[in-house]
Amino acid sequence: MLDLFSEEAPWQEPLAEGATILRRRAREEAPALIEALLAVAQQNPFHHRITPGGHRMSVAMTNCGDFGWSSDSRGYQYTEQDAENGRKWPPMPLLFRQLALDCAREAGFPQFTPDACLINRYAPGAKLTLHQDKDERDLRQPIVSVSLGLPAVFQFGGFARGDATQRVLLEHGDVVVWGGPSRLRYHGILPLKPGDHPLAGAFRYNLTFRRAF
């Protein structure tokens, strides 16, 4: 039955405890978001990091905000400067910050204030293997993710790497807020299929807003 008094909008669904998908929430803002992320990348180009294990990541990354996440042979860390060029990360565009705050509030996290935004760029074939995000100081803070451009299959599992996984298609404009117990779930992205998106061309972009410190 249609519940007119439901607290949740129909496009807002729980994925798991503490995780909410806001389908197409960022559709209207998407052209401006893409323009802003390309401007960030002009100041600090996308780069394929090397993992501590010595592998070149297929996903290209840059960051904006007070802190940025990166990896090198010594490990993963949040830093105020890009070790690649010694410069501070570009500031987080106001539009980014506002969207992250609004989505976090809508999903039940009104106190969220991101200090870091990691920007991932996927070309065809790029993937992210199952991992946990646990380099942030306060794991009670959620992560807000925004998908732009080509669609991708997102995998999310349990609290151990070998746990069963679910698959969810993440499309242009989809926002997911990961908090509560879902914050430590293993997750990843299957290899991107080639395509041509009207706003993003051959790429998928993902913004993740975080409270690093």
Binding residues for ligand MD3, rule: CB under 6 A, are 118, 120, 128, 133, 143, 145, 154, 176, 178, 182-183, 185, 187, 189, 206, 208
Tokens of residue 192, six digits:
């991107």
- Considering beta carbons, is residue 18 or 90 the nearer one to ligand MD3? 18
Q: Are 120 and 64 in contact (CB under 8 A)?
A: no
Q: Which does 62 bind (CB under 5 to 8 A by kind): ligand MD3, Fe ion, none?
A: none
State the minimum distance, in angstroms, from the CB of residue 205 to ligand MD3: 8
The answer to whether the beta carbons of residues 202 and 195 sit under 8 Å apart is: yes
CB 80 to ligand MD3: min, Å: 19
**82 contact, one of Fe ion, ligand MD3, none, CB 5-8 Å limit per kind:** none
Tell me the chain's radius of gyration from C-alpha atoms. 16
Entry field: residues in the chain: 213
Closer to ligand MD3 at the Cβ: 93 or 142?
A: 142
133 part of the interface to Fe ion, by CB under 5 A: yes
Alpha-helical (H) ranges within the chain are 30-43, 94-106
136 binds Fe ion (CB under 5 A): no
Long-range interactions of 152-156: CB distance < 8 A, separation 24+: 152/122, 152/189, 152/190, 152/192, 152/204, 153/189, 153/190, 154/187, 154/188, 154/189, 154/190, 155/130, 155/187, 155/188, 155/189, 155/190, 156/15, 156/16, 156/19, 156/182, 156/185, 156/186, 156/187
The residue with its CB nearest to ligand MD3 is 206
The residue of the chain with the least Cβ separation from Fe ion equals 133
Among Fe ion, ligand MD3, none, what binds residue 143 when CB lies within 5 to 8 Å by partner kind? ligand MD3
Least distance CB 56 / Fe ion (angstroms): 18
Contact set with Fe ion (CB under 5 A): 133
